Amino acid sequence: MNILITGSRGFIGKNLKSHLIQRSHYIIHEYNRGDSLDKLKEKIKISDVIFHLAGENRTEDEFNFEKNNFELSKEISTLILNSNKQKHLIFSSTTQAELDNAYGKSKLKAENEFLSIPKKNSNQKVSIYRLPGVFGKWSKPNYNSVVATFCHNIANNIPINITDPNKKLQLLYIDDLINQFINNINVCHKNIFIDI
């Protein structure tokens, strides 16, 4: 089975790749920031499963959310629809898709783009995961994990800033997420939307 991971050098992508490498029946392909659209086209063409994990979650310029979350997703959607081969797209979205911020809006637009794929071609499968805060190995403090940030700060005697002590965090351990992803590869099902 040919599997494409977009964003394979990121936190979730690196963990997914590590798990898949341990299983000899997967051929892993990668697409990352800086790669050409021709490479994306080539990799999508040969892939059976596409894990679309690439995107922008922090930026100085909000335009990057639109470009790297929605525009890239739109390109992937078009390439899947132009393919003659059945594919299963697994997209990592966020619970912030329900919020009124530039990041959440760009992810929601990407979700809607992907949900249109099976309406246009019923042979294509789409799974969307709305992820809460994911933590675990290879997460970066002050970037993609509040748990990593707290651990880093405590270990280095750096003060922790809690702006809302009453806020409850939803957290998901990376290995639990990866196990769900891998189980999803092998399950035959209709298109699904997963809000973890």
Residue numbers annotated as active site: 103
The total of other beta-carbon atoms located within 10 Å of residue 172's CB is 16
The Cα-based distances of 120 to 80, 81, 127 in angstroms read 11, 8, 16
- Residue 38 backbone dihedrals phi, psi, to 5 degrees: -65, -40
Instruction: Round to whole Å and give the CA distance between 115 and 136.
Output: 29
Strand extents, DSSP E, the chain:
2-6, 27-31, 49-52, 88-94, 125-131, 133-135, 171-173, 192-195
- Residue 192 backbone dihedrals phi, psi, to 5 degrees: -130, 155
Show Cβ contacts of residue 88 under 8 Å, excluding neighbours closer than 6 positions.
48, 49, 50, 124, 125, 126, 127, 185
